[in-house]
C-alpha cells in the first residue's frame, strides 16, 4: 500500500471469493481516488475533480492511463472590484415619470394622481379594490361636515375624476370660469385644471395641471375663489338656494 492510497475508495465486485493473493484480488476493482492539488490543463486547480480509476494491478502512482476524470464545472471568475484606475461608478438615478397625470392640492400637500386618492375625516380603503391601492388623506373636520371617506380622486388620462363616496353633506364643484354645482351623492364628475372641490369645514381640493413636475410652494398658486354669499345676511349660499 502506498501513502497516496489512504484516501482511496474501493468498490469491489461482489460474488468473487478471495484467492489469497492481494494483487489477483484487486483485478476488476474500481477505485475512486482524489486528485492531488495540481493545476489542470486550463490552468485551474483540479482539487475539486473526482477520478474513477480501475485498478488492474499495482502500478506507479503517476500513471494516468485508463483514468476517468469527472471535473467540476467552473464558471467565469467575477472581478472582486473595479479595475485599477477606473472611475467609481455613480449610483443610478431613476428616470422621471413619462406619463402625464394631473395633481391635486389638499391643504399643504400636493399629490400626483399616479394612484387614486381618498380624502375624508377618517378615510379607509374600500372592501373591493380594483387597480392600484388608493392613498388615504385625512383632513380636519370639527363640525363633522366631512364624511369619513368623502371623495375619491383619480386620473383618467390627463384629466381628474371626482367620485362622491355617498357623503352626508355632499360635494360642491367649482370649475374655473363656470358656475359651481353640487354633486349628487355617489356621482362622478370629470374636472379640469383649476377646478376647486369643496367637501366641508373649509377643506378644498384643487386640481392642478398634468404638466406640473414639482410641487410648487403654496405662495406660487393662485388664491382660492370665495364662495358667493347672500347680500342680505352675508352667509354663503348653495347653488340650489340661488336657483
The C-alpha atoms of residue 192 and residue 174 are separated, in whole angstroms, by 10
pLDDT tens-digit map of 219-228: 555 555 555 5
Whether 133 is in a domain gets the answer yes
127 plus 190 within the same structural domain:
yes
Average the pLDDT over each of 4-13, 147-156, 232-241 and give the range with the smallest value.
232-241
Q: What pLDDT does 242 receive?
A: 47
Q: What dihedral angle (degrees, nearest 10) is formed by the CA atoms of 196, 198, 201, 205?
A: -50
CA-closest candidate to residue 140, choices 120, 170, 125: 120
Q: What pLDDT does 130 receive?
A: 84
Q: Find residue 70's DSSP bridge partners.
A: 50
Q: How many domains does the chain have?
A: 2
* Domain harbouring 168, CATH code: 2.60.200.20
Tell me the three cell numbers of residue 150.
368623502
Domain span at residue 34 reads: 3-70
Whether 83 is in a domain gets the answer no
pLDDT tens-digit map of 198-218: 999 999 999 999 886 544 444
Whether 85 is in a domain gets the answer no
Whether 169 is in a domain gets the answer yes
pLDDT at 26 over 70: no
**What percentage of the chain exceeds 70 in pLDDT?**
47
58 plus 111 within the same structural domain:
no
Which of the pair, 45 or 24, is modelled with greater confidence?
A: 24
126 plus 178 within the same structural domain:
yes
Whether 173 is in a domain gets the answer yes
Whether 94 is in a domain gets the answer no
The C-alpha atoms of residue 96 and residue 109 are separated, in whole angstroms, by 20
Whether 242 is in a domain gets the answer no
* Phi, psi of 221, rounded to the nearest 5 degrees: -95, 150
pLDDT tens-digit map of 88-147: 666 665 555 567 899 999 999 999 999 999 999 999 998 888 889 999 999 999 999 999
145 plus 191 within the same structural domain:
yes
Amino acid at each position: 500500500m502506498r501513502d497516496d492510497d489512504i484516501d482511496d475508495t474501493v468498490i469491489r465486485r461482489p460474488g468473487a471469493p478471495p484467492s489469497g493473493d492481494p494483487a489477483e484480488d484487486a483485478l476488476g476493482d474500481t477505485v475512486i481516488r482524489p486528485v492531488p492539488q495540481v493545476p489542470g490543463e486550463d490552468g485551474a486547480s483540479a482539487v475539486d475533480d473526482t477520478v474513477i480509476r480501475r485498478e488492474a494491478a499495482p502500478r506507479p502512482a503517476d500513471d494516468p492511463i485508463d483514468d476517468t476524470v469527472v471535473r467540476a464545472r467552473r464558471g467565469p471568475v467575477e472581478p472582486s472590484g473595479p479595475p485599477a484606475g477606473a472611475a467609481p461608478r455613480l449610483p443610478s438615478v431613476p428616470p422621471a415619470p413619462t406619463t402625464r397625470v394631473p395633481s391635486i392640492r389638499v391643504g399643504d400637500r400636493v399629490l400626483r394622481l399616479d394612484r387614486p386618492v381618498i380624502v375624508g375625516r377618517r378615510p379607509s380603503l374600500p372592501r373591493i379594490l380594483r387597480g392600484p391601492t388608493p392613498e388615504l388623506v385625512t383632513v380636519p373636520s370639527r363640525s363633522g361636515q366631512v364624511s369619513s371617506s368623502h371623495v375619491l380622486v383619480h386620473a383618467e388620462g390627463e384629466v381628474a375624476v371626482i367620485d362622491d363616496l355617498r357623503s352626508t353633506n355632499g360635494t360642491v364643484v367649482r370649475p374655473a370660469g363656470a358656475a359651481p354645482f353640487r354633486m349628487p351623492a355617489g356621482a362622478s364628475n370629470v374636472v379640469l385644471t383649476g377646478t376647486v372641490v369643496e367637501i366641508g369645514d373649509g377643506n378644498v381640493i384643487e386640481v392642478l395641471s398634468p404638466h406640473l413636475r414639482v410641487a410648487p410652494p403654496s405662495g406660487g398658486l393662485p388664491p382660492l375663489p370665495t364662495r358667493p354669499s347672500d347680500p342680505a345676511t352675508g352667509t354663503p349660499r348653495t347653488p340650489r338656494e340661488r336657483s
